[in-house]
Amino acid sequence: MNSNGSTKAAKKIEFPVSTGLVITTGDKQGWSLKRVTAGFPWLTILSIMTALTLWDTIGRLGLFRAVPAVSKVWDAWLELYSGDLLSVLGTSATTFLWGFSAALAAAVVVSILTSMSKSIDYLLRPYIDAGMSIPITATVPILMMAFGINDTTRIAVVFLFAFFTMVISFQAGLEKVDPRHLDMAHALNSSKTQILLKVVLPSALPLAMTGIRLGVSRAIHGLITAEVILATAGIGWLLIRASREFNIPGIYAVTGTIIVITVVLMGSVSVLERRIHRVHS
């Protein structure tokens, strides 16, 4: 918060999901074409163009049934778009938001509890470690039996995927308090709540933000996993529907949609994370 002056010196704009896109601007104000193009990922873009062209050529020649032409995938996507793509995405988004926000709230509460009481931390640690280590995917059949094939199960899977990762990161953040700040707060006779709100939580923010990014990533994985296994609603179900119909361009269209949405979402969370890291360092 206090280092706003020094950020002026040299700005480095890194693109999300570390795509290798790095734009460096100098210390002078404004953008010049030369500076922008200096770090431009020509090779990466060339590589993507080449790959797409190659794919399209193979598709057009019809060499493999599993590789449809790009134009066919685009047609399939348009068909999906005019069909039920948007409403299905809405369902997925709702599931995601419920599961993720529940996991976030629970992770905040649990990590604050464990940071305030060593006994609670000691009691819960093996279970949090276990939750981190076991493959949550494998527990989906149990959840399906417990809650049925419905939104509850999907939300529960998203929750479990995101929760443990976030708890671990939040705990790490809460442990990172500068002991000098704590001493200072104690010297000022602050109450426990004051210390938590004014000292501990702000210093935990950067790592917590990293935790949120990891949590979002895990939640997306959980969402798609649950939707694909349950196969009744959401974008994951579209994927399964397309593959049951042997609609190969359709599969590519849905997969592409998932990839684009994930990359954009993760990119925005990464940008937010980097902002918070910058403000706090």
Partner 1 sequence: MAQLNGEKAVQVSGPRPPDDAGTASGLKKKRWLPTPPEGVHKSVVVLRMLSPLLLLGLWQVSSITTESILFPSATEVLVAMWEMGTSGDLWVALWLSNQALIIGATASLILGITVGVLLGRSRRLDKIFGIYINIDLATPTIALLPIVIIIFGLGLTARSVVVFTFGFAMVVSLVRTGAQTVDEDLAEMGEAFAPTRWQMWSKVIIPGLLPALGGAIRIAVSRGVVGMVIVELILITVGIGGVVMDARALFQGDRVYAGVIIICIEALLLMAAGRWIERKIAPQGMYGSK
Q: Which residues bind partner 1 (CB under 8 A)?
A: 17-20, 41, 43-44, 46-48, 51, 64-66, 118-119, 122-123, 126, 130, 133-135, 137-142, 144-146, 217, 220-221, 223-225, 228-229, 231, 236, 239-240, 242-243, 246, 248, 251-252, 254-255, 258-259, 262-263, 266
Nearer to partner 1 by C-beta: 151 or 227?
Answer: 227
Nearer to partner 1 by C-beta: 220 or 233?
Answer: 220
The rounded distance, in Å, linking the Cα atoms of 144 and 149 is 6
In the chain, how long is the greatest CA-to-CA distance? Answer: 77
Report the Cα 8 to chain-centroid distance in Å: 29
Smallest distance, partner 1 to C-beta of residue 178, A: 20
Nearer to partner 1 by C-beta: 199 or 254?
Answer: 254
Smallest distance, partner 1 to C-beta of residue 1, A: 28
Smallest distance, partner 1 to C-beta of residue 206, A: 18
Smallest distance, partner 1 to C-beta of residue 30, A: 27
Q: Are 170 and 129 in contact (CB under 8 A)?
A: no
Smallest distance, partner 1 to C-beta of residue 8, A: 29
Q: Are 174 and 115 in contact (CB under 8 A)?
A: yes
Smallest distance, partner 1 to C-beta of residue 20, A: 6
Place of tokens 């990466």: 44
Nearer to partner 1 by C-beta: 161 or 170?
Answer: 161
Nearer to partner 1 by C-beta: 38 or 66?
Answer: 66
Place of tokens 């649990």: 110
Smallest distance, partner 1 to C-beta of residue 23, A: 15
Q: If we measure between CA atoms, which residue out of 232, 195, 224, 214 comes closest to residue 270? A: 214
Secondary structure of 197-234 in HEC code, one letter for each residue: HHHHHHHHHHHHHHHHHHHHHHHHHHHHHHHHHHCCCC
Helix (H) or strand (E) holding 270: helix 248-280
Nearer to partner 1 by C-beta: 13 or 105?
Answer: 13
The structure tokens listed for 138 are 């494998």
Secondary structure of 135-187 in HEC code, one letter for each residue: CHHHHHHHHHHHHCCCHHHHHHHHHHHHHHHHHHHHHHHHHCCCHHHHHHHHH
Nearer to partner 1 by C-beta: 64 or 81?
Answer: 64
Four-residue CA torsion sign, 167, 168, 173, 178: positive
